[in-house]
Amino acid sequence: MAILNVTPDSFADAPSGPDPAAAVDRALLMEADGADIIDVGGESTRPGAQPVSAADELARVLPVLRAAGGRLKVPLSVDTYKAEVARAAIDAGAVIVNDISGLRFDPALASVAAERGAALVLMHTRGGPATMHAEAAYDDLVGEITAELGAGVASAIAAGVPLERIILDPGVGFAKRPSHSYGVLAQLPDLASALGRPLLVGPSRKSFMRHALNDRQAHERDWGTAAAVTAAILGGAHIVRVHAAREMAQVARVAEEIRKAGTRARGPLAATGC
């Protein structure tokens, strides 16, 4: 999943202008570079970001979705937590809604996904961009993420979203200190087993890597991102959300071959040496 930010304040991209044609050109390049999904976002949700209105968010994403829909072969996702934005984005061509709040900010979003037949990504977080860091306290990281995402799944199903259309994201970097984000990656097999749904993991260029990378800025963290993407796939992630589509497509596909080789080695013939 390649990240197509159409915001002026992304933490990891150069500021994006309002030109939908330029955004579509970027999306086409991401597709050519190996992206399987393009995730279009019109509001930065980095820690400390200021919220934007639904009207402003729609003004950013709708022209891009409408222009890209007839030109891209890969599916489009919209990165939003607002029901109003999700409804219009689906009508404009998005088939996935990527909700960073796990239905906590706008529960009506679940009904929109159900009515429009969209897939729904529910991410784990606590608080909002301004308060999430203060809420990053865990006694049982896997257990608490599992329980809190489970509540979102229950809400989605109650609204009519079929379980098979729900994808879960443990929220690397959201309401998590660096040790928690590393813990999510290290314990991803346990999370995958406990959650029982396909997992999306988005470690790309995030600040949890900053200390390990000697305080490099976000745009300089692609090598660290490659390590995190590899760990995520070996741990069972089905989708990885990244900025550098060309480089990370290579990383993801090699990591997937390693994962598959490990699965074969643990199969019933492994003990015989076949």
Closest CA to 65 of 35, 32, 88, 98: 88
Closest CA to 117 of 84, 132, 138, 95: 95
198 exposure class (CB count in 10 Å sphere: 0-12, 13-18, 19+)? middle
Point out the catalytic residue in the list 82, 104, 206, 221: 206
| CA 249 from centroid of its chain's CA atoms | 15
d(CA 92, CA 20): 14
Tokens of 237: 């992630």
The answer to whether 65 and 92 have CB atoms below 8 angstroms apart is: yes
* Helix H or strand E encompassing 252: helix 245-265
What single-letter amino acid sits at 189?
P
Alpha-carbon Rg for the chain, nearest whole angstrom, is: 18
Point out the catalytic residue in the list 241, 246, 259, 260: 241
Active site residue 73: no
Active site residue 260: no
Which residues does the annotation mark as catalytic? 206, 241
